Structure 1
Amino acid sequence: MRNISDVIEEYLKGILDENRHQAIEIKRSELAEKFDCVPSQINYVIKTRFTVEKGYIVESKRGGGGYIRIRRIKHRKESEMIEEVMGLIHSHVSQSKAVDVLERLVDYEIITDRESKLMASVIDRDVLAFSLPLRDEIRARMMTAMLFTLKYKC
């Protein structure tokens, strides 16, 4: 059985897919009421499922007329998107952020699900059995090398 966070994420992504401008504005309280949950559940979904690493920009305004605006990042070319993702990695990257990047590449059909699983397997914390921060440094180097190859082989 799916949890409420998955249902809310699917709902918001469905609205984004239907919107030709690839942006939506929602009211946290209205969405919480629709899904019969607390507003903090909406915050959690947006904070964890709509990140830059996953290809979204989130803006919010608090108060009576407040809203949350979610925009899907658009790129003209695959290489531009890969370049942006490479910029997010820097010299360290956690496993969860690296996996978010891989999910984004799958969503944009730059890599297949199988390729994503292969890449994820080599950057897993159990494979990179080093202590932090060395593990995140090595993961960042590996991700950058794989993305560099993708960028120039596209």
Structure 2
Amino acid sequence: MKNKNMSDIIESYLKQILQQEEHIEISRSEIADQFQCVPSQINYVINTRFTPQKGYIVESKRGGGGYIRIMKLEIVDEADLIDAMVDLIKSKTSLSDATAIIQNLLVNEIVTENEAHIMHSAIDKDALGKIVNADEIRSLILGAMLVKLKYR
């Protein structure tokens, strides 16, 4: 596991389990003990690596007997995935959220690598960097691209 940080290792572990199961329920403290890290490290991994934009739903219950449930979004067809991604776009979308949405489309084979690259080029800092309301413009552009993908 050379060149991997703890967050990458924890993410890989959880994704490996998710390949075999529909969902997983974990205890933050148990996973932290297993990887000899603080529970906040587990929170960081879940909050940044298992987002709806990346194709996951996370539920949690705090307190005694609490758990974190991670589920991979079930994709029935391309239109459902595209609709789910459109629903995630807010009036302002950060570059990292937009990139995660495009990556999810690529992983689910909705777009090719070339199409994903073109989509990213239209919304990245090189294209929108000097615009004051770049996150708003990014939302409009990404939303329009997703609608076109749905009806191609």
Query: TM-score, normalization: structure 2?
Result: 0.92
- State the alpha-carbon separation in 2 of the partners of residues 76 and 123 from structure 1: 27
Could you list the structure 1 runs, at least 4 aligned residues long, displaced by more than 2 angstroms after superposition: 112-115, 129-132
- In the comparison of the two structures, how many residue pairs are matched? 150
- State the alpha-carbon separation in 2 of the partners of residues 51 and 127 from structure 1: 25
- State the alpha-carbon separation in 2 of the partners of residues 66 and 90 from structure 1: 30
Moved more, 96-105 or 120-129: 120-129
CA apart distance, 1:49:
0.6
Is 1:137 the counterpart of 2:139? The answer is no
Is 1:2 the counterpart of 2:4? The answer is yes
Counterpart residue identity of residue 14, structure 1: Q
1:98 corresponding residue in structure 2: 98
2:151 corresponding residue in structure 1: 152
Q: Secondary structure at the match of 2:125?
A: coil
For structure 2, which runs of at least 5 residues remain unmatched after alignment?
none
Q: Could you list the per-position Cα deviations for residues 115-138 of structure 1 after superposition, in whole angstroms to 9, with x for gaps in the alignment?
A: 222211221123213444x21121
Is 1:126 the counterpart of 2:129? The answer is no
- State the alpha-carbon separation in 2 of the partners of residues 122 and 67 from structure 1: 40
Q: Secondary structure at the match of 1:60?
A: strand
Change (3 A) 1:45 1:116: same
1 or 2, which has the higher helix percentage?
A: 2
Counterpart residue identity of residue 12, structure 2: E
Q: Percent identity, aligned pairs only?
A: 52
- State the alpha-carbon separation in 1 of the partners of residues 145 and 105 from structure 2: 12
- State the alpha-carbon separation in 2 of the partners of residues 138 and 130 from structure 1: 12
2:81 corresponding residue in structure 1: 81
